[in-house]
Chain A
Amino acid sequence: MGGGGALLKIDNIHTSYGVIEALKGVSLKVKEGEIACLLGANGAGKSTTLLTICGVNKPTKGQITFFSRTINGLPPHEIVEEGISLVPEGRRVFPMLTVYENLRMGAFVRRDKMGIEEDLESIYKNFPILKERKNQMAGTLSGGEQQMLAIARALISRPRLLLLDEPSLGLAPIMVEKIFKIIKDINKSGATILLVEQNAALALEIADYGYVMETGKIAMEDKAEKLLKNKKIKEIYLGG
């Protein structure tokens, strides 16, 4: 597939939690090689969108295609095999597994032992703190360290598409900066990224394209630089 084609295409999906319809017809595209970001207020449906892509929530209507293959309806573990990885809201590292074991589980779908070892080395190089803590239980890491581990754990499966749900949440500014730099580097090394963020200014800064969600629908979309200048966005998400 040539650069610029849509890697992920979501077409009019509806997802419900019991009687609550959290997604009411969401459509969006993520092009190969880009960073797309998904903004929106609390409860807009951003996490639900990511979880629906990953197969945790089943859409009641609509279609999700990845590499022109329909993936909605597949169980999560098969979607991972297609090349999609999620860094979920709240990190969700396995607290009673060591850092190394968490990473090893990130590579669960891979069969190439040598390749995994190489990628582990390069992850340890990029995240020295993880190397230092590799035999420590993940539950004992600080919030920022856990976020790095969650990102590294998603990366080691070598995803074509990386989904990140609020990676900056609850982190000190310096850690946020670090995480965003890592996200940019990951993108440069070839992975396509869909980033959910509350921190709209930062997200739009590194993104190519942005979507804004409101109560289960995409309310606005545009190139990131244009959204940054958009009056309404400035008012609501960028603090005037």
Chain B
Amino acid sequence: MLLQQIINGLTIGSVYALIALGYTMVYGILQLINFAHGEIYMIGAYMGIIAITFFIYIGLPDISIALTLVLTFLAAIIFTGAYGITLERVAYRPLRNAPRLSILISAIGMSIVLQNYVMLAQGARDKIFPHELKIGGELIIADAHITYTQVLIMALSVLMMSGLTWFIKKTKVGMAMRATAQDRRMAGLLGINTDRIIVITFLIGSILAGAAGVMISMYYGIVNFYMGYTAGIKAFTAAVLGGIGNIPGAMLGGILLGLLEALGAGYISSEYKDVFAFAVLVLVLIFKPTGLLGERISDKV
């Protein structure tokens, strides 16, 4: 029972972590809470199902299931990446020097626009992940069942988070992202095109959220146009828990929140599953607003 809950928690926690990274990276550079980020994740989930439906239609899974999955993830992240970049261009860049409240309203507005757009384009009813591509099979350790889907989600998340860590730490662009987050004007004075860095930040965050969306649609097998709202708040909670603006913090916060939720659901009540996240958010904001790994006080929004 415990092991099972831990595995479920790690699975969902990895997804929260991937989404939380987008919140935290954008916050780190712009001190902006990108409220439309949950919608990017939701669009990723839809894109996954649309892509898979198309691939089934052309008969690709009969040739190779693995290839179908790879192409599905690729299609989803290309689209969410494009949405993320467009979002930044349309909703945030024109307001770069505007008062904080205007930007916040723009963010909330974009979130509503994207939700309604998907509802109109895809219908208000739930969409089901095509059963042809459900990965069957599971590992059994002690008395815990780990489905291959869970293994895939965890493995892919670890891969993406390690890749991101390497990118931020070691590459010139990653360094420039950190420099821009610390002192945007000075970064510009060294020749860094900070607008481009901001675009790259949105792109990376949206790619991670898009992949998370596909994972969740595989895991729960169901998507809807308002799924970005709850997931968004949970991932935001994870980012705050880890210390908003802090990249390892978002990873840690996501995993911890996932564990907490799974253990709470297993030992207390699954009815209250969603309440745990909000309780954590409130408690962290009251007792340690800087989060577990954060240093800066997040008084900006």
Residues of A within 8 A of B (CB): 54, 56, 75-77, 80-81, 85-86, 88, 92, 94-97, 101, 104-106, 108-109, 153, 157
Contact = CB atoms under 8 A, between A and B. Distances in A.
Contacts of B191: 77, 80-81, 108-109, 157
A126 B68 CA distance: 57
Contacts of B172: 104, 108
Contacts of A96: 178, 182
Given A97-B175, A101-B175, A80 B185 contact: no
A94 B189 CA distance: 12
Contact of B179 (A75, A88, A94): A94
B295 to A, nearest CB: 9
A76 B175 contact: no
A232 B188 CA distance: 39
A76 B189 contact: yes
Nearest to B194: A77
Contacts of B65: none
Given A97-B175, A105-B176, A108-B172, A157 B190 contact: yes
13 contacts: A76-B188, A76-B189, A77-B190, A80-B191, A85-B189, A85-B190, A94-B182, A96-B182, A97-B182, A105-B179, A108-B190, A108-B191, A157-B191
Nearest to A109: B191
A105 B189 contact: no
Among all A-B residue pairs, the 4 with the closest Cβ atoms: A80-B191, A109-B191, A76-B188, A92-B186
Residue of B172, B179, B191 ringed by the most chain A CB atoms within 10 A: B191
Nearest to B196: A77
Contacts of B176: 105, 108
A55 B185 CA distance: 11
A24 B90 CA distance: 36
Given A56-B185, A104-B172, A108-B172, A153 B179 contact: no
A105 B186 CA distance: 10
A52 to B, nearest CB: 13
B243 to A, nearest CB: 13
Contacts of B133: none
Nearest to A76: B188
Contacts of A80: 189-191
Nearest to A56: B185
Instruction: Indicate the size class of the contact surface on chain B.
Output: 10 to 19
Residue of A76, A80, A81, A101 ringed by the most chain B CB atoms within 10 A: A76
B192 A88 contact: no
A97 B176 CA distance: 10
Contact of B192 (A54, A77, A101): A77
Given A97-B178, A97-B179, A105-B175, A88 B188 contact: no
Contacts of B179: 94, 97, 101, 105
Residue of B178, B186, B194 ringed by the most chain A CB atoms within 10 A: B186
B171 to A, nearest CB: 11
Contacts of B186: 88, 92, 94
Nearest to B296: A96
Contacts of A54: 189
B143 interface: no
Contacts of B194: 77
A153 B190 CA distance: 9
Given A97-B175, A97-B178, A97-B179, A77 B193 contact: yes
Contacts of A97: 175, 178-179, 182
Given A80-B189, A157-B191, 10 more contacts: A75-B188, A77-B194, A96-B182, A97-B175, A97-B178, A104-B175, A105-B179, A108-B172, A108-B190, A109-B190
B170 to A, nearest CB: 10
Contacts of A106: 190
A64 to B, nearest CB: 16
Contacts of B175: 97, 101, 104-105
B198 to A, nearest CB: 13
A77 B196 CA distance: 11
A94 B176 CA distance: 11
